[in-house]
Structure 1
Amino acid sequence: MSVRWSTIFPNKPTLTEKNLPDQSGKVFLIPGASGGLSKEIASILYQKNGKIYMAARSRSKTNDPIDSSTGNMIFLSLVLDDLTTIKASASEFLAQESRLDVLYNNAGVMVPPQGSKTVQGYELQIGVNNLAPFLFTNMDYHEEGIWSKYSRSKAGNVLHAVEYARRTIGEGIISIALNPGNFVTNLQQNMPRMQLAVFKIISHAPKNGAYTQLFASHSPTVTEKDNGCWVSPFGKVEPARKDLLDTVLSKQYWEWAEEQINKYK
């Protein structure tokens, strides 16, 4: 698993809760909002009066108290390890809203026990980190090493962002892949002890990961010209790996993913 220097020595956040404008009237959908970085970005947007759909498996985990504001927070059931449940979640959202300003596809799992599978039998990280969000997004829009599997699932996210950007040129939709940074959250619960000890040394406060997402979704410097771009911690546009910007590869991966999810639409 390669590590960029920008992950260890991240850019200083340029957009935080201190300078984010009021978000009244805007709608945000945040899968995985019951914990980790998703919960951090949900808290910031909520305090700025945004309407937040917290998509998670369990309602109880989304009910932690958040500082009072005029924001609106709504639970949306979303089970990412079972593709048969995704359509109902997307339909529930579409039945309630006629607009969506930002979809943060950042829910996921990391290095689960070897052999972990989704209900449909996909390797857990490919299924949860990639195929389920891909299906969810498309609903809205109309034994190798465990680290290799995780890296492949995240590379798939970049390929989908690149291809989604290509397919929505001129439609006012901006598709961005990002690396929020290194943080210790519940995502690392299955990480080997020695790896976790090293990881903690190069980790930062989780809220900084929310700043990376905030930059990607709200920075006035990110426009349609950056469609399909890569954002590094904690808010900087920079080139992604060249192989992940290959339009032929991104098209092939998109088409493969479509074959996997079509029966669940």
Structure 2
Amino acid sequence: MGVQFSQVFPSKPTFTSNNTPIQAGKIILITGAASGIGFELAKILYGKGAKVYIAGRSEEKARVAIEAIQRDVPQVDGSALIFLPLYLDDLTTIKGTVEIFQKMESRLDMLFNNAGVSQPPVGSLSQQGIELQLATNCLGPFLLTSLLRPLLENATKTAEPGTVRVIWTSSQVVEFSTPPEGMIMSQLTNPPKDPVVNYTNSKLGNWFLAAEMARRDGRNGILSVAQNPGAANTNLLRNARWMKLLSRPLLHSPVLAAHTLLYAGFSPDLTLENHIDAYVIPWGRIHPGVADNLRRAIDRSEDGGSGRAKEFWEFCEKATGEYA
């Protein structure tokens, strides 16, 4: 339980903006960066000279966020903040988002799949009639990442090995609530009327997608890793007000949680050799010992695992195929 306790009450971050290299010339896309953890991450990276795309639903909220960052952080050579419209709960729109991005950029150095939804009202569905958390947290980011893969590969041609990265957002709830078999696949097509179970499935799905992408795209020079940002006081729990109220004493600032993403994005501790097995926890460290049931689910059958992560990847491929 020591590692679980340390995720609730992490030590002071050791990897900060002081450790983060200058990002002049780098193109970084952060979903859900108009508020919360993504906003704090965008602020740090803007100060490091990156061109940061703030991808989300509301241009108005993005503009407010951009103005706030520009007021607080001096512009340096190369730094820019750009809104990119993105509707993760509508698979028909994501290809259009990528086409907009491709008109402006020929490469992408880093993608932070940060946006998500937690515990919406029971029965909430995406535009395609899919359980909303699965659609928004997994299928939308999966399709977005798949369509952006050519631009990520372009970036690897001139980048240092292991510096082109895709960061996926999981949660500590996965370690507390995942069943012995890793994931009950039938719940993806027949979701239970329990938003917590569906949220857990989506966050485990993010971890699965990170590990599978590491296997598939590591050979192309793209580093893929999942992270638990930590319990932060953000809008994520806006649909679970009682849970947010009860957990308030355990919630930390979004600034602290942004350090988890910063570590996942830039720490040299993560390499193309270890990213399949790595999982980042607050406020920036590699998990020292993933539970056996999770490790079996992540590992493929030829490596002694159950292959559940591969099965989930294939489920996402099938679910999003017609929109690619």
* TM-score interval, smaller chain: over 0.9
Aligned 1:101-250 pairs, distance under 5 A: 101-142=109-150, 143-193=192-242, 195-228=243-276, 229-238=278-287, 239-240=289-290, 241-247=294-300, 248-250=307-309
- Paired residue for 2:175? none
Deviations 1:123-159 (A, max 9, x none): 1100000000000000011433211110100000011
The Cα shift of 1:184 comes to 1.4
Runs of 5+ consecutive residues of structure 1 not aligned to the other structure: none
- Counterpart Cα distance in 2 of 1:62 and 1:200: 26
Q: 8 Å contact 1:32–1:108 — kept in the other structure?
A: yes
Q: Point out the more displaced range, 236-245 or 201-210.
A: 236-245
Paired residue secondary structure (1:95) = helix
- Paired residue for 2:19? 19
The Cα shift of 1:96 comes to 1.6
- Paired residue for 1:55? 55
Q: Point out the more displaced range, 114-123 or 137-146.
A: 137-146
The Cα shift of 1:18 comes to 3.3
- Paired residue for 1:78? 86
TM-score of the pair, normalised by structure 1: 0.94
Deviations 1:53-102 (A, max 9, x none): 11111111112321231311111110111100000111211222122111
- Counterpart Cα distance in 1 of 2:137 and 2:230: 16
TM-score of the pair, normalised by structure 2: 0.78
- Paired residue for 1:68? 74
- Counterpart Cα distance in 1 of 2:99 and 2:256: 32
Paired residue secondary structure (1:169) = helix
- Paired residue for 1:255? 314
- Counterpart Cα distance in 2 of 1:169 and 1:206: 30
Paired residue secondary structure (1:224) = coil
- Counterpart Cα distance in 2 of 1:60 and 1:121: 27
Deviations 1:33-69 (A, max 9, x none): 1111111101110011111011111111112321231
1:94 to 2:142 alignment: no
Q: Point out the more displaced range, 6-15 or 67-76.
A: 6-15
The Cα shift of 1:120 comes to 0.3
- Counterpart Cα distance in 1 of 2:106 and 2:241: 44
Q: Point out the more displaced range, 158-167 or 5-14.
A: 5-14
The Cα shift of 1:223 comes to 1.3
- Paired residue for 1:7? 7
Paired residue secondary structure (1:121) = coil
Deviations 1:4-38 (A, max 9, x none): 32321224312222332221111100011111111
Q: Point out the more displaced range, 107-116 or 216-225.
A: 216-225
- Counterpart Cα distance in 1 of 2:232 and 2:110: 23
How many percent identity over aligned positions?
42
Residue 94 of structure 1 aligns with an amino acid whose one-letter code is Q
Runs of 5+ consecutive residues of structure 2 not aligned to the other structure: 151-191, 301-306
The Cα shift of 1:244 comes to 3.9
Q: 8 Å contact 1:16–1:211 — kept in the other structure?
A: yes
The Cα shift of 1:201 comes to 1.2
| Count of aligned pairs between the two proteins | 262
